[in-house]
Amino acid sequence: MSALISIKKLTKRYSGNAVVSEVNLKVNPGQILGLVGPNGAGKTTCLKALLGLTDFEGDIDVLGFNPRAQRAQMLSDVAYIADVAVLPKWLSVKQALSYMAGVHPKFDIEKARSFLAKTKIKAHAKVKTLSKGMVAQLHLALILALDVKVLVLDEPTLGLDILTRREFYNQLLQEFYSEDKCIIVTTHQIEEIEHILTDVAFIQNGKLVLAESTDSIRERFKLVTVDEAHLEQASALKPLSANRLMGLTTMLFDNVSVAELNTFGEVKTPSLADVFVGVMAKEAC
Ligand SMILES: Nc1ncnc2c1ncn2[C@@H]1O[C@H](COP(=O)(O)OP(=O)(O)OP(=O)(O)O)[C@@H](O)[C@H]1O
């Protein structure tokens, strides 16, 4: 299977300081990759590099194109959304659709209209009269109607309420996603999107610290509520993190057999957020 996006040794420096260092990443058709990291980790910088919006060291290939030298060709099959709650206030819904139809060869205006017909948004309404959630729905209509292979979303649901956020991702999955496309999404709310992610890449201080499929992460990491009697034995296996809350100690383990962990207490599969916190804590040591 050939990758839709291939990033090799991506490094980005500002004033000589590397804010992204030697990042290697592949995204295949069918993958929905969550690029997750703390504030300032380098997520947006990676996305900007792969969209050809900034220069960089290393090699990036998006759909066979070099994002810097062949940006125009590449963008006919790539869509990028930074913040779905923002669209020019003076624009009407109708104008937004016509504008997209004019500038993007892969925009299906009928698809956008039929999506909007299921909402309360009227064609003549101006963006300034829409609520934040309605602006997000309009933005979503514009995205879903783009028949592109690569969709890049940078914190797309910032500022939206939980129901609208959930609806946004559900619609994305139902209306946009298919096995021949890929989506890269950055978010701080990993718990809300973990059910749709096929892969995650954790980034910290500009370096990738973990890049794996969500299935293999769920196999690899385990959360154990350790019985008092086994605390010492469990600690000896070097958990990534240990939290004590209301008299219970929970430890996160990487690559320790479930049979062994079962002897310490109750074993659970952690959420991606648990793994993220554990991996970040370990890397910070
Ligand atoms: N134009 C710039 N000039 C100098 N430094 C920059 C510039 N853009 C980003 N940086 C620095 O690069 C680092 C990574 O920033 P980036 O925006 O990629 O982080 P991020 O992971 O997207 O963060 P957040 O989650 O807060 O949006 C930060 O330290 C930031 O200050």
Q: Kindly report, residue by residue over 271-284, the tens digit of the pLDDT.
A: 999 999 999 887 66
**ipTM of the prediction:** 0.97
The pLDDT of residue 176 is 86
pLDDT for res 85? 64
Of residues 88 and 220, the one with the higher pLDDT is 220
Q: Where is average pLDDT lowest: 77-91, 135-149, 196-210? A: 77-91
- Residue 57 makes CB contacts below 8 A (sequence gap 6+) with 9, 10, 11, 12, 13
Provide the 3-class DSSP secondary structure of residue 209.
strand
Lowest average pLDDT, out of 84-93, 122-131, 222-231, goes to 84-93
What pLDDT sits at residue 246? 84
Q: Which pLDDT does position 1 carry in this prediction?
A: 65
Q: Is the CB of 37 under 6 A from ligand 1?
A: yes
Q: How far is the CA of 215 from the centre of ligand 1 (A)?
A: 30
Distance 52 CA to ligand 1 centre (A): 16
Residue 187 near ligand 1, beta carbon < 6 Å = no
Q: What is the mean pLDDT of residues 14-28?
A: 96
Nearest atom (ligand 1) to Cα of 12: 12
CA dist 7 to 10, 50, 66, 128, 168, Å?
6, 8, 11, 39, 28
14 lines ligand 1 (CB under 6 A): yes
- Give the model confidence (pLDDT) of 145-165 as tens digits: 999 999 999 888 887 788 888
